Structure formats: C-alpha cells, structure tokens
C-alpha cells in the first residue's frame, strides 16, 4: 500500500488547508486591489505618513465687485472713514503678472531629487523653462518645459554640480522671469 492509502485523513486535511490558503490569498488580493481602485483608506495613510510641511499653494481666483459694501484687505495703506482729506478717484490697476518660485529644500546631496515649484497668476497654459546660473550666465537646465495649470507649476530636479546653485524659471513666450532660488548641493 502506498502512503496516501494508509493516511487518507491526513491527505484530506492537507488538501483542505491548501485550498483554504489559496482562496484566502486570492480574496486578499481582490480586496486590496478593490480598495486601492476605490481610494478607500487613502486619506488615512496620507495623514499618518507624517510628511511634515506641504508645498500646496492655493490657486488665486479673481473677485468680482457686486457694488455692495464688501470689505477688501490690502497691503497698501488706506485712509480711514474719519479722514476728511480730498478724495481721489480709485485707479483700477491691472494685477501685475509675477512668477513666484520656491525650492522644496535649501540643501540636498549630489543627485538627490528635489522639487522646484511656484505660482504664476494669469499664466494659465504658459510653458515655463527652468534655468541655472553657470559662470555668471543663465543657461537652460535641460529638462522638459513645464505647463502652468491653475496658476501653479512644479518639476523635479537632480544635479551633481556641488555648491550653491541658483535657479529661476522663465516664461517661454513672454520671457518673464521668476525670482531666484538657491539650493546648495553637497
């Protein structure tokens, strides 16, 4: 007699355990894929990651005057309601297009990836080109141009050139340039 005929109960139990493990693995994979596709649990994992500071910058949105008595805060000094000086008609000033740039880290290791991001109000759809200052001259960095979406842009950067590196972006069409950010590569 062979081994299976001597111990049919043991053979049956082993087969039952093998089928149960196989079904459990298949169901586990299906549940995992389903939760990822539906996004269940995604918010909790983002909150618990402890990633620290965020580079999220809200999109600016234009406001419309409805002629009401709304309150507008400004960085410009204004006259208070008690002032009796001569009043001048308010000049409607078109908002200045300005590209504001920032780096995700001030210091990184050689070839460590970091992000360059910024805001460009009124620059929707513009192509932004990253430049680096080399020997006193601005040169294109050599990565693909980035499109402005919802007034924002972001790109990943890696470089092996050590020391303080100055970066800026330029609007490909209007040639408008951003502020300069310095990242020290060590």
Closest by alpha carbon to 120, among 104, 102, 141, 143? 102
**Average pLDDT score over residue span 176-183:** 93
Number of C-alpha atoms within 13 angstroms, CB side, residue 161?
12
Sequence ranges of the domains in the chain:
7-48, 100-185
Interval 88-126: pLDDT, tens: 555 555 556 889 999 999 999 999 999 999 999 988 889
**Average pLDDT score over residue span 72-83:** 50
The Cα–Cα gap between 104 and 166 comes to 14
Question: Residue 157 in 3-state DSSP?
Answer: strand
pLDDT above 90 coverage of the chain, percent: 47
96 beta partners: none
Q: What is the CATH number of domain 100-185?
A: 2.60.40.10
Average pLDDT, the chain: 79
Interval 40-53: pLDDT, tens: 766 555 555 555 55
Range 3-39 burial, b when 16+ CB lie within 10 A, else e: eeeeeeeeeeeeeeeeeeeeeeeeeeeeeeeeeeeee
The model carries a pTM of 0.50
Dihedral angle sign, alpha carbons of residues 39, 40, 41, 43: positive
Interval 161-171: pLDDT, tens: 899 999 999 99
**Whole-number pLDDT of residue 137:** 94
């Amino acid at each position: 007699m062979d081994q299976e005929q001597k111990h049919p109960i043991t053979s049956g139990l082993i087969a039952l355990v093998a089928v149960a493990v196989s079904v459990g693995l298949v169901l586990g994979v299906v549940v995992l894929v389903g939760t990822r596709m539906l996004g269940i649990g995604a918010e909790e994992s983002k909150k618990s990651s402890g990633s620290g500071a965020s580079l999220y910058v809200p999109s600016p949105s234009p406001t419309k005057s409805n002629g009401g008595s709304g309150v507008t805060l400004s960085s410009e000094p204004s006259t208070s309601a008690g002032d009796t000086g001569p009043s001048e008609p308010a000049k409607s000033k078109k908002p200045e297009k300005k590209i504001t740039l920032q780096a995700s880290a001030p210091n990184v290791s050689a070839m460590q990836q970091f992000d360059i991001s910024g805001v460009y109000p009124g620059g929707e759809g513009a192509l932004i080109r990253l430049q680096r200052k080399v020997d006193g001259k601005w040169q294109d960095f050599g990565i693909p141009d980035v499109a402005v979406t919802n007034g924002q842009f972001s790109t990943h950067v890696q470089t092996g050139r050590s020391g303080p590196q100055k970066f800026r972006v330029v609007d490909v069409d209007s040639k408008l340039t951003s502020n300069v950010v310095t990242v020290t590569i060590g």
